[in-house]
Amino acid sequence: MELKEARDRFIHTWGTLSTQWGINRTMSQIHALLLLSDKALNADEIMEELQISRGNVNMNLRDLISWGLIFKQLIPGERKEYFVAEKDIWKVTRQISRERRRRELTPLLDAMNDIRNSIKDQEEARGLLKIVNDIDAVASLADSTLELISREESQWLVSTFARLTQKG
């Protein structure tokens, strides 16, 4: 396979898989492109490479920045804004953990709490209360796990955990 072809395949795969996780395809493709690029790219270069509009590029660059996955890089003498991706995949993983925790788990835990509070004294709400508590427990576990992953020093623990999973 040609190098170019392999790069395109990588970008394409990344874009496709991401939609299953509820992440915008273009956002993932831009991310993949920047991950592969050893120099910073500007909006025009991204438009050209991925064949998408300026508005689309701009919007998704903003999103990627808000996820903490890419950064603006100002190049001396250049007027345009350039963007680079965080290349350390462990940092990327931690950052995604952090954001998904904040954006998804915290709201879920809050919602479960609200419901629990609203029914806690009602005898006839036993069934609902049990499910809410169970889901709260699983979500709390997921939350703790992501919190752990998102810590600076987590990598050794994560790999320890991984090793644990290899055997029985």
Q: Shortest Cβ distance from residue 48 to a second copy (Å)? A: 19
x/- letters, 62..101, toward DNA (CB under 7 A): x----------------xxx--------------------
Task: Count CB neighbours of 131 within 10 A.
Answer: 11
Q: Which is nearer to DNA, 19 or 118 (CB)?
A: 19
Partner from a second copy, DNA, none binding residue 147, C-beta < 5-8 Å depending on class: a second copy
Question: Which of 144, 143, 63 shows the shortest CA–CA distance to 106?
Answer: 143
Task: Please name every residue paired with 119 in a beta bridge, in sequence order, or none if there are none.
Answer: none
Interacting positions 64-83 with a second copy (CB under 8 A): none
* Alpha-carbon span 60 to 47, nearest angstrom: 12
Partner from a second copy, DNA, none binding residue 84, C-beta < 5-8 Å depending on class: none
Residue 52 binds DNA (CB under 7 A): yes
Q: What would the two tokens of residue 23 be?
A: 């992440």
Q: Shortest Cβ distance from residue 67 to a second copy (Å)? A: 13
Helix (H) or strand (E) holding 107: helix 106-119
SS (H, E, C) 58-100: HHHHHHHHHCCCEEEEECCCCCCEEEEECCCHHHHHHHHHHHH
Compute φ and ψ for 81, nearest 5 degrees.
-90, 140
Q: Binder to DNA among 26, 31, 70, 112 (CB under 7 A)? A: 26
Q: Which is nearer to a second copy, 47 or 128 (CB)?
A: 128
Query: Do residues 103 and 67 make contact, with C-beta atoms less than 8 angstroms apart?
Result: no
Q: Which residues bind a second copy (CB under 8 A)?
A: 1, 3, 5-7, 9-10, 13, 17, 19-22, 35-36, 38, 87, 89-90, 93, 103-104, 107-108, 111-112, 114-115, 118-119, 122, 124-125, 127-128, 131-132, 134-135, 137-138, 140-141, 144-145, 147-148, 157-159, 161-162, 164-166
